[in-house]
Structure 1
Amino acid sequence: MTTSQNETATETHGATLTDAAASKAKALLEQEGRDDLALRIAVQPGGCAGLRYQLFFDDRVLDGDIVVEFSGVKLAVDRMSAPYIQGASIDFVDTIEKQGFTIDNPNATGSCACGDSFN
């Protein structure tokens, strides 16, 4: 894990990308021919449990962003979302039952039945 040049080595958002997630994100970026995007995780109000994750590629750099690099993939988090994802692990699963990015967040005290939001 390396930090971007714009932050101190001790500044971190506390989230991690597993090797599988970083590999999939890197493959998606290569497929699009883009190397200027960061994978952004944000927490927004919404969903039946109160908060909802947003995980997407972003070319913007927001004021106060915390960016940490995992295996060549930049993971960006805005300062408002950082406390909610402290200690969270972003993984990529590819099984018969499920395919996609998953977020294991120790801060989530509950979630809705559909798994789309948390509190």
Structure 2
Amino acid sequence: MTDIILTPSAAARVAWIAQRQSKPAILRLAVEGGGCSGFQYRFGLADGVEADDLSVETDGVMLVVDPMSLDLVRGAAVDYVEDLGGAAFKVTNPNATAGCGCGSSFSI
């Protein structure tokens, strides 16, 4: 099983954002306590990869996850979706037992 997946759609969006901000194309996914379901996802561009990060690459873009967050998102896919509700990064997390309507928080 793959630890985590960055879809081509998400990779393309990260590359676009990184280019506009003159930063490396590295997306950090972290999980924090909070949100309406107990945990919430946090995304941000990273300047580099930490020694204990898990990293995966799609189309030249890196996705990095710290070890504590990885325990909560192992097997997940990070996608970028655009629909009538707007455009956002979305995590499809097989570990989540419940989520919220906004899709940015979950529980295990």
- Superposition TM-score, scaled by structure 2 size: 0.86
CA distance, structure 2, for counterparts of residue 107 and residue 48 of structure 1: 17
Contact 1:13–1:66 (8 Å) recurs in 2: no
Contact 2:6 2:56 in 1 (8 A): no
Using the alignment, how far apart are the partners of 1:114 and 1:49 within structure 2? Answer: 10
Q: CA RMSD in A?
A: 1.9
Residue identity in the other structure for 1:96: L
Q: Judging changes above 3 Å, is the alpha-carbon distance between structure 1 residues 44 and 89 closer, same or farther for their aligned structure 2 residues?
A: same
Alignment of 1:46-65 (within 5 A): 46-65=34-53
Match of residue 20 from structure 1: 9
Deviation at 1:97, TM superposition (A): 2.8
- Measured at CA, do residues 18 and 61 of structure 1 come closer, stay the same or move farther in structure 2, by a change above 3 Å? closer
Cα distance, 1:117 vs. partner?
1.3
Distance 2:86 2:35 in 1: 21
Runs of 4+ aligned residues of structure 1 deviating over 6 Å after TM superposition are none
Alpha carbons of 1:114 and 1:101: their partners in 2 closer, same or farther (altered >3 Å)? closer
Which amino acid in the other structure matches residue 98 of structure 2?
Answer: G
Q: Which has the larger radius of gyration?
A: 1
Q: Distance in 2 between matches of 1:108 and 1:84?
A: 8
| Alignment counterpart, residue 85 of structure 2, candidates 88, 91, 97 | 97
| 2:37 alignment partner, SS class | coil
Out of 22, 27, 30, the residue aligned to residue 33 of structure 1 is 22
Instruction: Report the 3-state secondary structure (helix = DSSP H, G, I; strand = E; otherwise coil) of the residue aligned with 2:98.
Output: coil
**CA displacement, residues 46-90 of structure 1 (integer Å, 9 cap, x when unaligned):** 122111111111115434111121111111110111121111111
Report how many residues are paired. 107
Q: TM-score, normalised by structure 1?
A: 0.79
Gaps of 5+ in 2: none
In structure 1, stretches of 5+ residues that fail to align are: 1-11
Quote the Cα distance in structure 1 between the aligned partners of 2:85 and 2:91: 16
Tell me how far apart the structure 2 counterparts of residues 34 and 113 of structure 1 sit (CA, whole Å).
Answer: 32
